[in-house]
Copies of this chain bind each other. A is one copy, B any other.
């Protein structure tokens, strides 16, 4: 398959494919001559995955590259892949996320849930920032308010990990891990918003 067919079958302009090649998101095709390269079905799958991560999930090109590299390098170890995808392992410039304002609250929450979470997990910082914002806005909302949400998150994670059970192919399982952790995020938020609309209608008349 040459680039024009790859473009046609994926719906991605060839200029954009070249851009992804340049950026290292898509591995180069097998060169058959100075101005000719052969692309495989794997390239097509990878390309669709890239578009999903960037278009549906809204990742940046850099974040997408890191996720894809994680999938390739640690395809054998699903926990490693998850760790890298989740940012648990320091990838680039590692920044500890367990100090700074709000960190004690996050630690309290993590401890209350009995979770073992890396100090480098960016999720820590996200929660700390959210709590800090809510506090500065005067909402009476602290880490204790998050406990029932955390319990629901735990049930969601159990669902997620269950999906990974019955797959043998390593690459496929690693990709599936990416899909479930990263690609599902906007859909989960969308479900919550629909549920809010429903619940709000229930409580306020029609």
Contacts and interface: CB of A to CB of B under 8 A. Distances in A.
B82 A161 contact: no
Interface residues of A, number: 78
A156 B82 CA distance: 24
A152 interface: yes
A199 B139 contact: no
Most buried by B among A148, A154, A187: A187
Contacts of A127: 187, 190-191
A94 to B, nearest CB: 16
A123 B191 contact: yes
Copies per complex? 2
A195 B114 CA distance: 10
A51 B55 CA distance: 25
Contacts of A185: 189, 192
A202 B161 CA distance: 11
Nearest to A134: B179
A150 interface: yes
Contacts of A123: 189-191, 193-194, 197
